[in-house]
Amino acid sequence: MKVLSITALLLATASPALCDPSVEVMHFWTSGGEAAALGAVRDKVVAEGVTWTDAPVAGGGGDQAKTALQARIASGNPPAAMLMLGQTITDWAAEGLLGNVDGLAEAQGWDAALPQAVKDFTRVDGHWVSVPTNVHRTDMIWASKAAFDKIGAAYPTTWEELNALAPKFVEAGIIPLAHGGQAWQEAYMFEAVALGVGGADFYRKALIDLDDATLRGPEMVAVFTQMAALRGMVDPNFPGRDWNLASAMVIKGEAAMQIMGDWAKGEFTNAGKNPGDDYACIPVPKAKGDGFVYLVNSLSLFTQEDPDLIKGQEVLASAIMDKDVQVAFNLAKGAIPARTDIDLSAMDPCAQATSAALAANDAGGTAVPTFAGTHAANAAVVGAATDAITAFFNSDMAAAEGATALADAIAAAQ
C-alpha cells in the first residue's frame, strides 16, 4: 500500500517560511450539535494561525459526502481532510491516496493514549492515516422524561416492556417512536435491535463473520420481528425525515423515544436539555447479557503536495488530539473522547456511563463494531444489507421474509 508521510513531505519540501498554512475539512456534521462540536476543533486550528475552509455536505449518513468526495478525487482536487468511517478509510488507504502523520503521532504518544478499537480504524498498515475525534455508542434510546411522566411509566428494560408502552403513548397523544425514514437510520436501528435481541455472539456471527446460517436462523427472524414492532410505532410523516428532526420530536415531548446513536445527545445539549431532568439516555434492552456497539469518528488525511497544506494537516491533527479539544468536542457532539487518558469529570452523566460501559464491554468481549457505519463489514455488503433492511421497514413484509431478504442481499454482495 502506498502511504506518503506528511511529516516527511513537510521536511523535504518546506521553504524557510510557511506563510499561509491552510486546511480544508469536508464532512457531514451539519446538525446543531455536530456543528458546535466541530467548532471546537476549528477554533484551535485557527488559533494556531491556520486558515480553515469548511466544506459541509448535508446528509447524516454520509452518502452524499461520499459522492462529493469521489467527484473531488476524480478531478484531482481532494480535500485536506475528510470525515469517513470504518472500512471506507481502509479502502482509500489501499488506493494510495491517504497520507499520514506518523511523526506527529509518535511524538505525541498516540499509541498509548488510544484504545485498540480506535486504532483499528485510524492506523492502517502501521500508518496513522486518520485522526480520531470521538467514539460513539449506537445502541441507544433517547427518551422524553415528560412523555414517560405523562403516562406514569418507567423506562423500559426489556423489549416486551418497550412494546407494551406503545399503545399507552398513543392513547396519551404521544408518538411512541420518533424516526427519520432514511435508509441509513434504519440500518443503525437494525444493528441496535440485532445486538439487543440476539446478543454480542449473534451479532458477531451475523454481521461481522456474515455467517449465512446465522443470517437465516431463528434469532435473525426474532430481530426482524422486533423491527416489525418498531415500524408500527412511528408516525405517518416519518419518510425522509432527518435524524435531528426526529430528535427534536423527543426534545419537545411530541415523541417518547428515539433509537439512535449517541450523537443525538448533541441535539439535546444544544437545546439546553439536561440528562435526568429532561431526558434519559439508556441502552436498548439486552435480552442476552451485555453489549455495546461502537463507532469511531475520525478525519482522514488526503495526500497533499503543497507544504502549506501539509502544515495545515499537521496542525489539524494536533488540534483534534488535544485533550481540551477532545472534551469540548464531545460535550457538544454527545460522544466520548477517543483518548483514554482524559479526565471525564467535566462530561455529563450520559458520557460517563457510556465510557464506563465501553470499558466493561471491551473487557468482557461484548463490544462490537458498528455494521451500519462500515466498521464490521465493507461498504458493498453494508449497502446491500441496508437496502434490504429499509425495504422491510417500509413495508408490511413478514419477519421471516425480511431475514431471508437480508441473507440473500449479503450473499450477493460478497
- What does the alpha-carbon distance between residue 235 and residue 202 come to, in Å, rounded to a whole number? 31
* 277 and 319 in a common domain: no
Angle, vertex CA 349, rays to CA 234 and CA 294, nearest 5? 60
Q: Tell me: the pLDDT tens digits for 136-152?
A: 999 999 999 999 999 99
Query: Three-state SS for 133?
Result: strand
DSSP class of residue 277 equals: T
| Locus of grid cell 467535566 | 346
* 37 and 115 in a common domain: yes
Q: Is 276 left (phi over 0), alpha (psi -120 to 50) or beta?
A: left
Report CA 50 to chain centroid distance, whole Å.
28
Q: State the DSSP string of 59-119.
A: -TTSHHHHHHHHHHHHTT---SEEEE-THHHHHHHHTT-BEE-HHHHHHHTHHHHS-HHHH
* 160 and 182 in a common domain: yes
Q: State the DSSP string of 291-334.
A: -EEEEEEEEEEB---SHHHHHHHHHHHHHHH-HHHHHHHHHHHS
- What does the alpha-carbon distance between residue 173 and residue 255 come to, in Å, rounded to a whole number? 9
- Between residues 18 and 109, which one has the greater pLDDT? 109
- Residue 186, φ and ψ in degrees, nearest 5: -70, -30
* 157 and 128 in a common domain: no
pLDDT above 60 (res 197):
yes
Per-residue confidence at 7, pLDDT binned at 50, 70, 90?
very low
Which pLDDT does position 8 carry in this prediction? 43
Q: What is the mean pLDDT of the chain?
A: 93
% pLDDT > 90, the chain: 89
* 164 and 94 in a common domain: no
* 213 and 158 in a common domain: yes
pLDDT above 50 (res 16):
no
Which pLDDT does position 6 carry in this prediction? 47
* 36 and 121 in a common domain: yes
Per-residue confidence at 19, pLDDT binned at 50, 70, 90?
low
Which pLDDT does position 352 carry in this prediction? 95
282: part of which helix (H) or strand (E)? strand 279-283
Per-residue confidence at 407, pLDDT binned at 50, 70, 90?
very high
Average pLDDT over residues 17-22: 69
pLDDT above 50 (res 228):
yes
Q: Which three cell numbers stand for residue 225?
A: 420481528
pLDDT above 50 (res 1):
no
pLDDT above 70 (res 13):
no
* 391 and 269 in a common domain: yes
Q: Which residues contact 369 (CB under 8 A, 6 or more apart)?
A: 86, 117, 120, 121, 208, 293, 294, 295, 375, 376
- What does the alpha-carbon distance between residue 324 and residue 298 come to, in Å, rounded to a whole number? 17
* 288 and 172 in a common domain: yes
Range of the domain at 247: 140-293+353-413
Q: Which CATH number belongs to the domain containing residue 160 in this structure?
A: 3.40.190.10
* 66 and 55 in a common domain: yes
* 333 and 213 in a common domain: no
* 400 and 338 in a common domain: no
pLDDT above 70 (res 358):
yes
User: Which candidate, 143, 226, 155, places its Cα nearest to that of 192?
Assistant: 226
pLDDT above 70 (res 360):
yes
pLDDT above 80 (res 4):
no
pLDDT above 70 (res 392):
yes
The CA-based dihedral angle spanning residues 90, 94, 99, 101, taken in that order and rounded to the nearest 10 degrees: 50
Contact 80, 24 (CB under 8 A): yes
- Between residues 5 and 375, which one has the greater pLDDT? 375
Average pLDDT over residues 184-212: 98
Residue 354, CB-side half-sphere exposure with 13 Å CA sphere? 34
Query: Three-state SS for 398?
Result: coil
- Between residues 14 and 246, which one has the greater pLDDT? 246
Count of structural domains within the chain:
2
Average pLDDT over residues 17-27: 82
User: Which candidate, 11, 134, 33, places its Cα nearest to that of 83?
Assistant: 134
Query: 322, 348, 374 — which closes off a domain?
Result: 348
Q: Tell me: the pLDDT tens digits for 301-348?
A: 999 999 999 999 999 999 999 999 999 999 999 899 999 999 999 899
